[in-house]
Structure 1
Amino acid sequence: MTTTLPTRVEDRNPVHRLHVASYTDGLLGPSQPMLGPLADGGTLIAGTPPGCWGPMITPAFQGGHEVTQPVAIAGAEVGDAVALKIERMRVTSLATSSGVMQFVEGRYHGDPFVAKFCPACGTEHPASHLEGIGAEAVRCDHCGAEANAFRFRHGYVIVFDHENQVSLTVNQSVADRLAANASQMSALPELAAQHSILSLARADMPGVAAHMRPFLGNIGTTPSHDLPDSHNCADFGQYLVGAPHRYAISEEALHAAKTDGHMDTNSVREGCIVICPVKVPGAGVYLGDMHAQQGNGEIAGHATDVSGETQLSVEVIKRLTLEGPILLQNVEDLPPMARPMSAGQRRCVAELGARWGQHEVEQSGPVTFIGSGVNLNEATENGLRRAASVTGLSYEEVLNRATITGSIEISRLPGTVRVTILCPLAILDRIGIGHLVREKYQLS
């Protein structure tokens, strides 16, 4: 078990390999003690409990996820970036449950993800326990009242075949059996504090087969102001602006603090590289909210949250100031227009140019900018402007490049997108990520 050391993190000797198995209570920010430091180039291995539904139905949580305790990275200073190279990812849950949510009024102050209270005794963020299974199983430790601030409008229970990467939703009888052994079926880590969502046993959609394609929904670096972990983004974060609880923040402060780690981007999976802003000394790398599968958009509001294990390595990129993540996606996840050309295609391009007198052919590589906003239009403009700001290209040139050599894709409703372009390698070299792009896509 990894524990926080008594000395200041900056005074400790860096380690080259670190296992993390401790979690926050739904908050991220400067108040959270960091583990580490992990050496530049070091390996981080983390076991993570499910995000979303488990923390949602656990009243003590102050955010919608249960992410790992942040890790300091040696040499990472404010204004740098940290590249997280995801080397391995696997689901450990045998089953989970998810669906379309509804709130239970009278059990939260403004935001049921952040500010829950018991409707009977009024205790804020009460400790709780489970009694039986079903929608009313969550009970306040102080008075015994039912205290879950969420319900399913439509829900399902799903089981996994890890070896063959397929899954199947089950009927009510099976869901009830799984609920009786919910923590084990969820494979909750030892120090996880959430109730398993399997305990609610909602099975409205049996017999649906689906592919598995695990990814991390929340991964990145610590924001510069304490934020609920699920609100480290612009679309969920908008509900903190002027909120009637202690995590209320101004719009300006939110945008200055957040690092957009909660992006629910289904290509943040094994083999990809996530390049994250550093907004606190040491970066404070964290991860969580693994999903077993999800298409673009997380249309239902929630996907299949699971326990899992992830291994990644880190690299500090000096003096690359970012507002949000850059993603180097796996080739098969890139939009078709942004995939690097083959040697044969490049020969054809050179021949085409020669016929017309255009002898210079740009050397470029794919790069994806995460954009976030209160809705998809604002998120798209945000991603485009981030691309322009980081690369130094004009906004109008980014628009043209995204149109003919890239794409805009939904990561999450209501407001997270990925903006992908083919960018000149000379620019990527200048900002410090050219070597990562060349290696990732085998470019000369």
Structure 2
Amino acid sequence: MSQQVTNELEVDEYTLGLVGPEQEWAGTVADGGTVRTHTPPACWGPMITPDFRGGHEVTKPIRVDGAEVGDAIAIHINSIEMTSVATSTGSMKEREGAFGSDPFVDHKCPECGEPWPESVVEGTGEDAIRCAECGANASAFGFEYGITTVFDHENEVGLTVDQEAAHELAENARENMALPENCRQHPILLYEPSEMPGTLGHLRPFIGNIGTTPPIELPDSHNAGDFGQFLIGADHEWGLEDETALAQRTDGHMDINAVREGAVLICPVKVDGGGIYVGDMHANQGDGELALHTTDVSGHTEFDVEVVKDLDIDGPILLPNQADLPHIAQPYSDADVAAGEALGEQYGVDVETDMGPIQVVGSGATVNDATDNAFDRAGTLLDMSEGEVRTRCTFTGGVEIGRLPGVVQLNMLAPMDRLEERGLAHLVRDQYDL
């Protein structure tokens, strides 16, 4: 059934932890149109809510008019606005008996055995999430080490609080986390962790899970090469046979902190319409997300969409803000070009000055596997041998870690003629004013 195409689309409905072609469309936006989303926190809230099938709560997929399999969609992130006034996070521990093979996916009540049980909240603390059927503590996760953080009015800094303040925030957890009307998670503030009080942190909000729909149904938190490893050989409904099956992912779950306001994210189209989904807004995160989780918040995101025909990429390409590029991956300045041309004249070498920064995202079981995946993707994109990719990235870029154990950004100054051939040159020139 065809959907009405609109130039502006508001999305505030979410899946129950899954992404894939079986999910109901949120609507259809025109090529060149604008999407505004209102998203709840991901990670901790869905993780402690037993009826979720994945570790996030992302939007229903958005169809982009004219996007066909083999194309790509450029997502131009115009704005990101946090609305939560506080959140809780930290490193996790799993609760024995509350899941089958995967604590993010196949939840069950540890006492009555009900799969993905409905749950109710009774009080606050780590035993507050109760099975609606038998009353047992039904959440699959607790904190190994946890903090509760409040944000200043300008969302510039966060401050970790003590037990008394954490408890007060927990008593009005939904309001303090500003959960959207249609979200179905329990707020993680209920757990009221309070270790490390008095620590101040810089904020820089970004989107941790944003991308396009894979051609198979996946838990939303596992649409990546590292978390996706948990699906290989799993005996639940979303188990995969091998790495070949996992290759159908679209790597929407990146946790790359440069996917923020002003960035351009170019995503593969693996189902007609693309099926963009958005979620997992974070207030801040250091490279690598070393605790495996960070400051999940509710918020609004606005972005424009642009179809790139016949790009046929396997995973995302990121054009971050120039300030987020490593020093040696920065666009050449006029002084750089002048100095380079002088060297070229001295040594009789034609100088490549028409170059542009790109970041190719890779994922895998480990950081090394993710980097190999990025090498393969960059080589295919730019028609380069692995040796040339490795050398260019060493001389004009590098690798950054989005998330441990295995999401990376491979930086490179790429020849603009290669980008022109792939239909990407205009995006790079516009992003970096080249």
For residue 378 of structure 1, what is the aligned residue in structure 2? 369
- Tell me how far apart the structure 2 counterparts of residues 389 and 162 of structure 1 sit (CA, whole Å): 46
- Identity, % of aligned positions: 51
Matches within 5 A, 1:253-272: 253-272=244-263
Query: 1:276 aligns to what?
Result: 267
Q: Deviations over 1:118-174 (max 9, x none)?
A: 111111101111100001000011111111111101000000114151110000000
For residue 395 of structure 2, the aligned residue among 404, 410, 430 is 404
Deviation at 1:253, TM superposition (A): 4.7
- Equivalence for 2:290: 299
Structure 2: distance between partners of 1:17 and 1:391? 34
Q: Deviations over 1:243-288 (max 9, x none)?
A: 1211111224533321000000000000000000011110000010
Answer yes or no: is 1:422 the counterpart of 2:413.
yes
State the Cα deviation string for residues 174-227 of structure 1 (Å, max 9, x = none).
000000000000000000000000000011110000000000000000010000
Secondary structure at the counterpart of residue 55 of structure 2: coil
Q: 2:170 aligns with which of 179, 197, 202?
A: 179
Cα distance in 2 for partners of 1:250, 1:227 equals 13
CA distance in 1, matches of 2:382, 2:350: 24
* Residues 106-121 of structure 1 mapped to structure 2, 5 A cutoff: 106-121=97-112
Whether 2:315 is the aligned partner of 1:324: answer yes
Which of 154, 173, 190 is residue 181 of structure 2 equivalent to? 190
Structure 1 residues 91 and 282: alpha-carbon distance in aligned structure 2, compared to 1, 3 A threshold: same
Residue 243 of structure 1 aligns to a residue whose secondary structure is coil
What is the letter of the counterpart of residue 234 of structure 1? G
Quote the residue 1:227 is aligned against: 218
Structure 1, unaligned stretches of length 5 or more?
1-7
Q: Which of 345, 348, 362 matches 1:357?
A: 348
Distance 1:359 1:182 in 2: 62
Alignment partner of 1:438: what SS? helix
Shift of 1:355: 1.5
Task: Supply the distance in 1 between the matched residues of 2:229 and 2:350 (Cα, whole angstroms).
Answer: 49
Counterpart residue number, 1:211: 202
Aligned with 2:259: secondary structure? coil
Report the Cα offset of residue 36 of structure 1: 2.0
3-state DSSP of counterpart to 1:254? helix
**Do residues 62 (structure 1) and 53 (structure 2) align?**
yes
Structure 1 position 313, deviation (Å): 0.3
Establish whether residue 14 from structure 1 lines up as the match of residue 1 from structure 2: no
Which residue is 2:359 aligned to? Answer: 368
Q: 1:34 aligns with which of 10, 25, 33?
A: 25
SS state of the match for residue 379, structure 1? Answer: helix
Question: Are 1:199 and 2:185 an aligned pair?
Answer: no
From 128, 131, 138, the equivalent of 1:140 is: 131
Count of aligned pairs:
434
Q: Write the distance in 2 (CA, Å) between the matches of 1:121 and 1:245.
A: 19
Q: Distance in 2 between matches of 1:86 and 1:293?
A: 17
Q: Which runs of 5+ in 2 are unaligned?
A: none
- How large is the RMSD of aligned CA atoms in angstroms? 0.9
SS at match of 1:157: strand
TM-score (norm 2): 0.99
Instruction: Give 1:361 shift.
Output: 2.8
Question: Residues of 2 paired with 1:352 and 1:293: CA distance?
Answer: 42
Task: Tell me what 1:92 maps to.
Answer: 83
The answer on whether the counterparts of 1:91 and 1:162 sit within 8 Å (CA) in structure 2 is: no
Once the two structures are superposed, what CA deviation does each residue of 1:323-354 show, in whole Å capped at 9, x if it has no partner?
Answer: 11000011110111100011122111111211
How much does 1:386 deviate?
0.6
Decide which of 157, 161, 167 is 2:152's aligned counterpart.
Answer: 161
For the residues of structure 2 that align with 1:367 and 1:418, how far apart are their CA atoms?
9
Residue-by-residue CA offset, 1:56-85 (whole Å, 9 max, x unaligned): 000000000000010000000111100000
Q: Does 1:251 align with 2:215?
A: no
CA distance in 2, matches of 1:89, 1:164: 11
3-state SS of the aligned residue for 1:361? Answer: coil
CA distance in 2, matches of 1:321, 1:413: 27
User: What secondary structure is seen at the aligned counterpart in 2 of 1:289?
Assistant: strand
Larger deviation, residues 107-116 vs 255-264 = 255-264
User: How far did residue 18 of structure 1 move?
Assistant: 0.2
Q: Give TM-score, length-normalised by structure 1.
A: 0.96
Q: Contact 1:350/1:361 (CA < 8 Å) preserved in 2? A: no
Aligned residue in 2 for 1:339: 330
